[in-house]
Amino acid sequence: MKIYKLLFLVLAFAGVNSCAEYVGNDGGGSFDDDDPSIEFVAQLVENDAKRVGDRFEFIATLNGVNVTSSTSFRVIGEDIPSNIYIPFRAGEHSVIATKDDYTANFKFNVLPLEGGDEN
């Protein structure tokens, strides 16, 4: 009977260790929410937009996965309802993208209308 108890304890110990290694993220220690390998990136989608009145589109990715639909964008300090922005003035525009606790920012330049003096 003692051999069964010993066998049970050995199996239980081995099972607990294997679970702890899995939870510990490959056995490399404790899980870290501030993992530097997490990369949140927002950027301008490459298209023909370059002037006032053109349609500028933004994209956001989290570790390479497109998360644009769940990301909030602010252009020149104002919230926009989607990831599409149509500027009404020329110059440098700053964008802040936010998803959960992640933030990314970038700038892009808008040219004036051809033949116009937009500001």
> Domain holding 71: CATH number?
2.60.40
CA distance readout (Å), 115 to 38, 85, 107, 112: 45, 22, 24, 8
Pair 48, 76 in one domain: yes
Domain that holds residue 8: 1-31
| pLDDT digits 0-9 by tens, 79-112 | 999 999 999 999 999 999 999 999 999 999 999 9
What DSSP line would sit under 28-53, residue for residue? SSS--TT-TT--EEEEEPPSS--BTT
Per-residue pLDDT, 9: 59
Q: Is residue 118 part of a domain?
A: no
pTM for the structure as a whole = 0.65
